[in-house]
Amino acid sequence: MKLDAKIPSGPLGEKWNKHKFDLKLVNPANKRKYTVIVVGTGLAGASAAASLGELGYNVKAFCFQDSARRAHSIAAQGGINAAKNYKNDGDSVFRLFYDTIKGGDYRAREANVYRLAEVSVNIIDQCVAQGVPFAREYGGLLDNRSFGGAQVSRTFYAKGQTGQQLLLGAYSALNRQIKAGSVKMYTRTEMLDLVTIDGAAKGIVTRNLVTGEVETHAGHAVLLCTGGYGNVFYLSTNAMGSNVTAAWRAHKKGAFFANPCYTQIHPTCIPVTGDHQSKLTLMSESLRNDGRVWVPKTRETAEKLRKGEIKVKDIKEEDRDYYLERKYPSFGNLVPRDVASRNAKQVCDDKRGVGKSGLAVYLDFSDAIKRLGQKAVEAKYGNLFDMYYQITDENPYEVPMRIYPAVHYTMGGLWVDYNLMTTVPGLYSLGEANFSDHGANRLGASALMQGLADGYFVIPYTIGDYLANIGPAPVDEKHPAFAKAKQDIIDLTNKLLSLKGTRTVDEYHRDLGHIMWEYCGMARTAEGLQKAKKMIAELREDFWKNVIVLGENEEVNQSLEKAGRVADFLELGELMVDDAFQRNESCGGHFREEYQTPEGEALRNDDEFTYVSAWEYTGTNQPEVLHKEELVFENVKLTQRSYK
């Protein structure tokens, strides 16, 4: 199968407007004849469902939480990028486009990224109109702050709660459409399979998480807005419920999975404290605006710190290594996340890490407090400082925060074309669930931008073209494909419930996470990846023999829910390892130790690997087939990425 990205012709800055004009339209009277299914109601899903409902389509929206307000989008802290140039510091749509392409280590499509930068300016206006309380300057104008990977201030923010405030805006728009009757909301309902007829998406299979009832829902198109798969690592900054099941089941029905090995490790997280933890806590990247990252210059000093023989305040300024400022003078502490994370690992590997485990570095605000005053720092980051204090019992106004990298975001996801359609006609993927805009590394404050761009400004146009072509004839819910898909899920549910081994689902998930972090985490090697593939295969085989799934189907059963999700993670883990193994280069979040510059930076191989890897499912226990979408760069020059 040849991948067709459907990128419009013409100059980069004219592609989207030209494409919108060329797309077919559905007239207002006909829109109500179509049903669109939206799975997931975070920023991408809520904005898409609200927008499509307002256009007049019949929308069915599904989320496994008890409210769309609980989507993981609320956890985003630092901000949302937009090329408004309010600071008059040289920003532009093209600069945001260039920074995003460069930040992704030249492994993203030019056309998609430019469109993202182009519509970013509209997102802010939309959200302000919804009442999102963005921070403002003294005179009342919207404020901006800087984020990693950029030398301009383009990040709009609402203290350290930006994701929550943006989601409340989308949620209010969604509720308006629910009240109007254009959107029907299904809460505590999880998608477990995709229904296809003649190769096209026509519906989904769901399980009611309260009653256990398995149901089918028909629609003319299906939108997957189900987030990323970072929880394959067990410990991550994601909500514990975040999973890959909807996307993975769609993958098994023909949707190619793209760039699965591209995982973002966030450098600013509260370090792991022990095996008792089930998730990790993010400290916003915005803290690196005023916080300075450092470790002791010598191993001896670090060892004394770890043993408690000295305190951090005892270390003189000349004995501190502000290693990001030293190595990257142009960007300093605001280098992109992959660069900051790798450098934190390097200094800890050099035995200069702090904390009892030695797996932490300092994020120090003493200079900012002296310069700005504690009240000013509190106004910017107060809720983040309080969250840190509540978790660690350490006051970051008095002692530096201790941080360490952790799994945060996944740049890979379902392959989509320019219209956000997967390789299954009628199946779309939005937000973090797709692969499209971030390449090998996402710049901070770009996730919220992409989710809302896809939902508010892209899908309302592109889905109309598909619907106009297929026509409004009702989907036949009596088609055998619906009954078969439903029975397949019932059979899988019964199979999981029949497993009465001796090990819990969480134990298998934790074991998988250890393997993924050790061999497919911040650094990878060919030898380690081969070892990981064998270990995951053995773990997956053992799972189906020795896991215990308690309870029944006709009730709330989190053991059953987790079992299905972990079974999917075990399969995805193997594919991530395969993808990392075939990509013999380092780029962004994919760092192969065999491929690095003499200075330890990622070393790309543009001659052989300037492509999107898109994997096709071929059957149970069968190797997946690799397809390649070649990336063409006409507007940026591929150079060795440097932030020095």
Instruction: Give the DSSP per-residue string, 483-510.
Output: HHHHHHHHHHHHHHHT-B-SB-HHHHHH
Q: What are phi and psi of 187, to 5 degrees?
A: -95, 165
Report the alpha-carbon angle 265-281-323, nearest 5: 50
Decide which of 138 and 218 is more confident: 218
In order of 41, 72, 226, 319, 643, the CA distances from 64 in angstroms are 9, 11, 10, 51, 41
Distance CA 326, CA 439 (A): 27
The mean pLDDT value for 2-23 works out to 96
User: Is pLDDT above 90 for 278?
Assistant: no
Query: Residue 535 corresponds to which amino acid?
Result: M
Per-residue model confidence (pLDDT) at position 401: 97
Per-residue model confidence (pLDDT) at position 510: 97
Q: Which of 52, 158, 5 is nearest to 611 (CA)?
A: 5
Arithmetic mean of pLDDT over the chain: 96
Q: Which of 63, 38, 349, 477 is nearest to 221 (CA)?
A: 38
Per-residue model confidence (pLDDT) at position 274: 79
Reported as a single tens digit per residue, the pLDDT across 204-221 is 999 999 999 999 999 999
Q: What are phi and psi of 615, to 5 degrees?
A: -105, 135
Please state the separation of Cα 293 from the chain's center in Å: 25
Helix (H) or strand (E) holding 232: none
- How do beta strands 221-224 and 35-39 pair? parallel
Per-residue model confidence (pLDDT) at position 343: 96
Q: What are phi and psi of 278, to 5 degrees?
A: -110, -10
Per-residue model confidence (pLDDT) at position 273: 86
The mean pLDDT value for 75-87 works out to 94
Reported as a single tens digit per residue, the pLDDT across 401-414 is 999 999 999 999 99
In this structure, what token pair is assigned to residue 361? 């570095």
Q: What is the share, in percent, of the chain residues with pLDDT greater than 90?
A: 95
Per-residue model confidence (pLDDT) at position 275: 80
The mean pLDDT value for 529-556 works out to 97
User: Is pLDDT above 90 for 302?
Assistant: yes
Distance CA 334, CA 343 (A): 13
Reported as a single tens digit per residue, the pLDDT across 159-210 is 889 999 999 999 999 999 999 999 999 999 999 999 999 999 999 999 999 9
Q: Which of 535, 515, 518, 531 is nearest to 345 (CA)?
A: 518
Per-residue model confidence (pLDDT) at position 3: 94
Q: Global pTM? A: 0.97
The mean pLDDT value for 342-369 works out to 96
**Is 207 a residue of the active site?**
no
User: Is pLDDT above 90 for 347?
Assistant: yes
User: Is pLDDT above 90 for 642?
Assistant: no
Distance CA 562, CA 483 (A): 25
User: Is pLDDT above 90 for 277?
Assistant: no
Active-site residue among 109, 115, 249, 337? 337
User: Is pLDDT above 90 for 557?
Assistant: yes
User: Is pLDDT above 90 for 6?
Assistant: yes
User: Is pLDDT above 90 for 610?
Assistant: yes
The mean pLDDT value for 425-451 works out to 97
Per-residue model confidence (pLDDT) at position 611: 98
Give me the residues paired with residue 548 across strands: 500
Distance CA 33, CA 28 (A): 10
Distance CA 608, CA 534 (A): 27
The mean pLDDT value for 47-57 works out to 98
Q: Which of 83-97, 269-283, 361-375, 436-450 has the lowest mean pLDDT?
A: 269-283
Confidence class for position 1, pLDDT limits 50, 70, 90? confident
Confidence class for position 644, pLDDT limits 50, 70, 90? confident
Query: Residue 105 corresponds to which amino acid?
Result: D
Q: Are 194 and 71 in contact (CB under 8 A)?
A: no
Confidence class for position 295, pLDDT limits 50, 70, 90? very high
Confidence class for position 2, pLDDT limits 50, 70, 90? confident
Place of tokens 């383009």: 154
Query: Residue 183 corresponds to which amino acid?
Result: V
Distance CA 153, CA 90 (A): 9
Place of tokens 């605006």: 289
Distance CA 641, CA 439 (A): 13
In this structure, what token pair is assigned to residue 86? 């309010």
